[in-house]
């Protein structure tokens, strides 16, 4: 059996989950369910990123002790993941003492690549990122994502010598040893890698207290990204445990906005630790709301729980996994969502199940012995993490079955008393539906489980409740 380790980015807990946060979870979950269908062993990590200036400032603003604040928001993310019908095997909170201790060990192991130097430059707390002078100039001193002027920092920091690893990272990306998906992001990363200076990996405690203390230097707090990136292996028990059964990860799911950290700093850390690089980094696009970045100040943040409560989790997953191209930016509007729910989910799939099961029930036809296997074309797409395309492929079979019903007119066979032909026709159609259903299992776990129940019963009976109920 193959072991597969899948990871998701750990969100900052300076707010509640929004629809964009769902992407990593949904993609990793589809992948995990697919590997399980193939019979592989799967481990999925999730977690919360709880340190850094952004979270500290937010807790201050709200006048809540910071630990209390992160505790309550971490819980909201855990609840959110459960609502998405996403399961994970390991959950890490970066304020866990185990994680903190392990990150300090990691720092010590990297210490020959770390040096102390004065940092004079810019920082964006929203991005939790040191900003180069070039970027500062290009953006006129204001962060385009957070609309806030970059902060000027003049402090003594530890630096991580990325230059020690640049050649190896470049080679790993070029050779596909560490595959970056989609392919078009590779060029951007290569350019960033070439330009990437050594990264500052600490802040003076006088400037930032909320984080992990640098080993043997009480005056410094570790940079939140060094702390956060380590989660992918601390959660497996590194360095206390041998993690070679699970590491390197089969795939790490991240948004395109944080690909740079995962394709440059993270591989440099792994190389410094003598660990292999992840096999694939899958970077998805951004979800916008009505064409705009979601932001509390614009007031266009879409609450994912509202969508799920109203339309159900499968409808949510349908939209974000099929209507949203796995690798591209996408726009959420209630109109688009409603349209895809009515015209596709309920019409194409819901009605097909209803129609076919009703005919089978009326004519006392059971599924019979059919061989149900995943088509090679589908597997090829899933293996390349082309999930929305694989979903399309499965859906085209659903549409094809609908068309076949219209063409083959089983009701006419029934009327003409052609019992044998009718049975054969319905069983063929149901067999195809079971193949489509199997392909859809990773995407729509609830509905597909119900469909299986309906068609695998000795006496087929149409579902009592609609497959995709709306509340």
282 vs 440 by CB, closer to ligand MSP: 282
Query: Residue 58 interacts with ligand MSP (CB under 6 A)?
Result: no
Query: What is the nearest approach in angstroms of ligand MSP to the Cβ of residue 347?
Result: 28
Tokens of 44: 């999925």
Subset of 237-256 contacting ligand MSP (CB under 6 A): 254-255
Residue 287: CB minimum distance to ligand MSP, A: 4
3-state helix, strand, coil in the chain (%, to 5): 50, 15, 30
Residues in contact with 89: Cβ distance below 8 Å, sequence separation at least 6, in sequence order: 42, 43, 44, 45
Q: Which is nearer to ligand MSP, 177 or 257 (CB)?
A: 257
DSSP letter string, 166-206: HHHHHHHHHHTSSEEESTHHHHHHHHHHHH--PEE-EEETT
- Of 32 and 365, CB closest to ligand MSP: 32
Catalytic site residue 146?
A: yes
Rounded to a whole number of angstroms, the minimum distance from the CB of residue 421 to ligand MSP is 50
How far apart are CB 350 and ligand MSP at their closest, in Å? 28
Segment lying near ligand MSP (by CB under 6 A), choices 203-211, 226-234, 390-398, 458-466: 226-234
Give residues 338-377 in contact with ligand MSP (rule: CB under 6 A): none
* 293 carries an active-site annotation: yes
Is 21 catalytic? The answer is: yes
Exactly one of 26, 31, 143, 425 is catalytic; which is it? Answer: 143
Verify binding: residue 50, ligand MSP, rule CB under 6 A: no
Question: Which lies closer to ligand MSP via its Cβ, residue 246 or residue 378?
Answer: 246
Please state the closest distance from residue 457 (CB atom) to ligand MSP, in A.
40
Contact with ligand MSP (CB under 6 A): which of 6, 9, 434, 438?
9
For ligand MSP, which residue of 4, 6, 21, 248 counts as binding (CB under 6 A)?
21
Identify the DSSP state of 340.
I
CA gap 77, 32 in Å, rounded:
19
* 31 counts as catalytic: no
SS3 253: strand
316's CB contacts (< 8 A; 6+ apart) are: 22, 84, 304, 307, 308
Q: Which of 21, 51, 58, 284 is catalytic?
A: 21
Active site residue 187: no
* Of 4-12, 65-73, 200-208, 384-392: span binding ligand MSP (CB under 6 A): 4-12
Which residue stretch of 5-13, 35-43, 243-251, 459-467 sits at the interface with ligand MSP (rule: CB under 6 A)?
Answer: 5-13
The radius of gyration computed from the CA coordinates of the chain, to the nearest angstrom, equals: 25
What are the angstrom distances between the C-alpha of 334 and each of 68, 328, 391?
34, 19, 21
Residue in 6, 27, 49, 394 binding ligand MSP, rule: CB under 6 A? 49
Give the residue among 139, 61, 48 at the shortest CA–CA distance from 88.
48
Catalytic entry in 109, 205, 279, 293: 293
With CB atoms as reference, the residue minimizing the distance to ligand MSP is 255
Q: Is the peptide bond before 239 cis (omega within 30 degrees of 0)?
A: yes
The minimum distance between CB 117 and ligand MSP, in angstroms, equals: 25
Among 64, 190, 286, 457, binds ligand MSP (CB under 6 A): 286
143 catalytic? Reply is yes
Residue with tokens 């180069």: 132
CA angle 116, 121, 122 (to 5 degrees): 120
Selected catalytic residue, list 76, 83, 109, 127: 127
Among 199, 294, 302, 397, binds ligand MSP (CB under 6 A): 294
Which is nearer to ligand MSP, 254 or 429 (by Cβ)? 254
The encoded tokens of residue 235 equal 């959660």
What dihedral do alpha carbons 390, 396, 398, 400 form, nearest 10°?
A: -150
Contacting residue, 177, 257, 348, 424, with ligand MSP by CB under 6 A: 257
425 part of the active site: no
Collect all residues with Cβ–Cβ distance below 8 Å to 449 and sequence separation of at least 6. none
Nearer to ligand MSP, 12 or 391 (CB): 12
Q: In this chain, which stretch among 21-29, 61-69, 394-402, 416-424 interacts with ligand MSP, using CB under 6 A?
A: 21-29
Which among 51, 124, 284, 425 is annotated as catalytic? 124
Q: Which residue has the tokens 């029934």?
A: 414
Nearer residue to ligand MSP within complex by CB, 273 or 286 = 286
CA distances from 421 to 59, 366, 370 (A): 69, 14, 16
Residue 267: partners with Cβ closer than 8 Å, 6 or more residues away: 165, 168, 169, 172, 178, 277, 278
Exposure string of 400-424, with b = 16+ CB inside 10 Å and e = fewer, is ebbeebeebebeebbeeeeeeebbe
Does the annotation mark 364 as catalytic? no
DSSP for residue 158 = E
φ/ψ (deg, to 5) at 39 = 95, 15
Interaction between residue 27 and ligand MSP (CB under 6 A): no
State the residues that interact with ligand MSP by CB under 6 A: 9-12, 20-21, 23-24, 49, 228-229, 231, 254-255, 257-258, 286-287, 294
User: What amino acid positions are annotated as catalytic residues?
Assistant: 18, 21, 124, 127, 143, 146, 293, 296
């Amino acid at each position: 059996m193959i072991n597969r380790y899948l990871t998701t980015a750990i969100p900052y807990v300076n707010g509640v989950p929004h629809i964009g946060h769902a992407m990593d979870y949904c993609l990793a979950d589809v992948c995990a369910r697919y590997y399980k269908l193939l019979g592989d062993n799967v481990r999925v990590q999730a977690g919360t990123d709880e340190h850094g200036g952004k979270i500290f400032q937010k807790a201050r603003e709200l006048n809540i002790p910071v630990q209390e604040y992160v505790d309550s928001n971490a819980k909201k993310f855990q609840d959110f993941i459960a609502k998405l019908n996403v399961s994970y095997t390991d959950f890490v909170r970066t304020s866990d003492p185990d994680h903190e201790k392990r990150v300090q060990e990691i720092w010590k192991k990297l210490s020959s690549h770390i040096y102390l130097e004065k940092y004079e430059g810019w920082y964006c707390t929203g991005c939790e990122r040191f900003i180069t002078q070039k970027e500062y100039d290009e953006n006129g001193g204001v962060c385009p994502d957070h609309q806030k002027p970059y902060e000027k920092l003049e402090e003594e920091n530890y630096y991580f010598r990325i230059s020690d690893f640049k050649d190896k990272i470049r080679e790993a990306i070029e050779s596909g040893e560490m595959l970056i998906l989609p392919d078009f992001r590779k060029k951007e990363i290569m350019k960033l890698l070439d330009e990437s200076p050594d990264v500052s990996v600490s802040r003076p405690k006088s400037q930032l207290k909320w984080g992990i203390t640098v080993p043997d230097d009480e005056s410094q707090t570790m940079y939140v990204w060094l702390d956060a990136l380590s989660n992918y292996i601390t959660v497996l028990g590194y360095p206390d445990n041998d993690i070679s059964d699970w590491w390197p990860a089969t795939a790490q799911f991240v948004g395109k906005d944080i690909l740079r950290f995962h394709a440059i700093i993270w591989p440099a850390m792994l190389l410094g630790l003598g660990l292999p690089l992840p096999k694939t980094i899958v970077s998805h696009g951004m979800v916008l709301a009505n064409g705009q970045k979601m932001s509390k100040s614009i007031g266009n943040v879409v609450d994912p729980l509202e969508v799920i409560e109203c339309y159900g989790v499968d409808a949510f997953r349908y939209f974000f996994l099929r209507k949203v191209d796995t690798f591209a930016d996408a726009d959420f509007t209630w109109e688009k969502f409603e349209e895809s729910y009515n015209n596709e989910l309920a019409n194409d799939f819901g009605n097909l199940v209803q129609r076919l099961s009703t005919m089978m029930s009326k004519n006392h036809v059971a599924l019979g012995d059919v061989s149900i296997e995943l088509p090679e074309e589908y597997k090829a797409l899933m293996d390349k993490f082309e999930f929305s395309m694989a979903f399309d492929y499965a859906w085209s079979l659903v549409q094809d079955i609908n068309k076949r019903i219209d063409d083959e007119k089983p009701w006419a066979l029934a009327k003409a008393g052609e019992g044998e032909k009718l049975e054969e026709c319905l069983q063929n159609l149901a067999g195809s539906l079971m193949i489509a259903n199997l392909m859809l299992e990773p995407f729509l776990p609830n509905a597909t489980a119900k469909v299986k129940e309906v068609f695998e019963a000795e006496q087929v009976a149409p579902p009592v409740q609609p497959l995709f109920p709306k509340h």
